[in-house]
Amino acid sequence: MRGLNAQHTTPFDHSINRKVFLTTQVQYYIGSLLTILVINHLIKVLIQELQNI
């Protein structure tokens, strides 16, 4: 029984794997986007500070 379960994957298993994969991709994309926005903001603040001096 255990051997069969190890070999056999149902379409349901595949859809779960796809969902997990997509979720990971989305999280990675959002993380990258946030990082870029934060860095962008810091650079703008830095430039303003330098102009004020």
pLDDT tens by residue, 10-51: 777 878 888 888 899 999 999 999 999 999 999 999 999 999
Report the amino acid identity of residue 12.
F
Residue carrying the six token digits 């993380």: 31
Q: Domain residues for 7?
A: 2-52
Q: Which position has the higher pLDDT, 2 or 45?
A: 45
Residue 8 pLDDT more than 80? no
Q: Which pair of tokens denotes residue 33?
A: 């986007």
pTM of the shown model: 0.56
For residues 11 and 30, what is the distance between their CA atoms, to the nearest angstrom? 28
What's the number of domains the chain is made of? 1
Confidence (pLDDT) at 29: 95
